[in-house]
Amino acid sequence: MNEDELRSEAKMVDLLNQFEHILESDPRIDEVGFVHPSQFFKLNEEAGHSLPSSDSSADRNSVFWNKDHKLGISTQVLLPLYKASKDAFMTANRQFKELNSTSNVSGAENSLCTSLSLDDDIESAVMKHSRALLLLSCDFGTAWHSRKLVVLEKHKLSALLDELLLSALVLSYSPKSEYAWGHRKWVIKSISEKCSTLPEIATKESELVEKIAERSKMNYRAWNHRCWLVSYMTREQLLHELKRSRNWANLHVADHCCFHYRSQLMLKILEDRCCEQEISSSGYSVEIYLLWKDELDWDEMLIKRYIGREALWLHRRFLSLFWIKHFLTDHTGLSSRGEQKTSMNDDFSVFMDNELHLLHSCSIIPDNSFDDYQAQAMHSATYMLWLIKQIPDSCRIELQEKLKTENLKALLNKACPERSSTWDCLTGYVEASDH
């Protein structure tokens, strides 16, 4: 290795040492970003005189910027910094594997203390270098796996909580990182086996997902993680999440992920409630009945306010399907709670009438219409086609008297004439199935 190569390698190691020193000196860093060198002057200017020049050498050479627990890394040094962190990690990880392999074979007691001390040093090196590497390359699976192995050997809750902090830091710059979300799931499962702090963690996780979803639209992995958390929530948390997520959904009516999350919350509330003793004659408590009715009313309000949003209609399918399957009781005979049963049956008729009114109100396409009105008409008609197939035969005849399939066909052809052949097939299928 010539002198230039040695100098270059030493510079890379120095960069890595600076980076890891910043991470260790400020363990509360909650956001990391990559900054063009020209932006460092502006960052320091905005920080004002409160940022001493002695904070770190980063301020002198515009390589790192750290203030208010935010970390900026110059894009100019990403490649050499990545190479240095990768080399350091791979070396430490190889030593970690060799040490574990040796300790499994050798059982000499006289070297126990030395081995433990060496083991701690190597584990610390693996954790330190893997952290630096993952903040530069979040999809480095070997680094995530090595951290799991070290954490499992430590058997400490604090080590697991540190992993939550690291993965949250990775998600601050890569909110759709599959490895980071998977690592959080592994950590939470491990914590659930050790202590009873899951309700508190589940609340913080839900807040994290909402924060990330605000910055990263249509983030399936984030919302999937939030849905997965539902199984760890208490009844009080489920109700709180249902109330809180409604506010978010009101402002993001095109994001179906949030409505899917609400459906998972409602199903979990239903599941927990069914395990209790106070159950109505239909098999579900009045509380669940009112919960679903309130959700239907809210969804209808959004549909009328925000024209042509498909996510709202898909959520209505979920709500309506459950309503039909579980709140449509037998019209013949009464149970011991006959009044309540009759009320639910009457409400089903009211439900169907309401859906027809919704169809007609959403079918109006003004002459100077925008595409949203055409989309609204198409969504409402296809929803009604779908609904006809979900209700029992005994109720379908009554519905057909109020709604002629030909009207749906005409509406669909008007809303989307280029798909007229598709609508003919669908409405024909419904007609044939009714005879």
Residue bearing the bigger pLDDT, 400 or 354: 354
**H/E segment holding residue 159:** helix 157-173
pTM for this model (two decimals)? 0.84
Rounded to an integer, the average pLDDT of 64-68 is 91
- Given a cut of 80, whether residue 220 has pLDDT beyond it is yes
In a domain? residue 288: no
- Given a cut of 50, whether residue 361 has pLDDT beyond it is yes
Measured in degrees and rounded to the nearest 5, phi and psi for residue 26 equal -130, 80
Q: What is the pLDDT of residue 25?
A: 95
In a domain? residue 373: no
Domain that holds residue 175: 1-102+116-193
Instruction: Tell me 364's DSSP state.
Output: -
In a domain? residue 341: no
Rounded to an integer, the average pLDDT of 120-137 is 96
333: left (phi over 0), alpha (psi -120 to 50) or beta: left
Q: How far apart are CA 15 and CA 78, in angstroms?
A: 10
- Given a cut of 80, whether residue 265 has pLDDT beyond it is yes
Q: How many domains does the structure of the chain reveal? A: 1
- Given a cut of 90, whether residue 172 has pLDDT beyond it is yes
In a domain? residue 147: yes
Confidence of residue 9 (pLDDT cuts 50, 70, 90): confident
In a domain? residue 418: no
Q: How far is CA 133 from CA 9, 21, 94, 162, 321, in A?
A: 17, 14, 15, 16, 48
Confidence of residue 54 (pLDDT cuts 50, 70, 90): very low
pLDDT exceeding 90 applies to what percent of the chain?
51
- Report helix angle 178-192 to 141-154, nearest 10: 10
Give the range among 234-238, 306-310, 335-339 with minimum mean pLDDT. 335-339
Q: How far apart are CA 215 and CA 229, in angstroms?
A: 20
Rounded to an integer, the average pLDDT of 25-37 is 93
Residue 384 contacts residue 406 (beta carbons within 8 Å): no
- Given a cut of 90, whether residue 124 has pLDDT beyond it is yes
Confidence of residue 302 (pLDDT cuts 50, 70, 90): very high
Return the structure tokens found at 229: 């958390």
Rounded to an integer, the average pLDDT of 348-373 is 81
In a domain? residue 34: yes
Confidence of residue 431 (pLDDT cuts 50, 70, 90): low
Residue bearing the bigger pLDDT, 4 or 376: 376
34: left (phi over 0), alpha (psi -120 to 50) or beta: beta
In a domain? residue 72: yes
Rounded to an integer, the average pLDDT of 130-139 is 97
In a domain? residue 168: yes
Confidence of residue 430 (pLDDT cuts 50, 70, 90): low
Q: Which amino acid is at 171?
A: L
Q: What is the pLDDT of residue 315?
A: 97
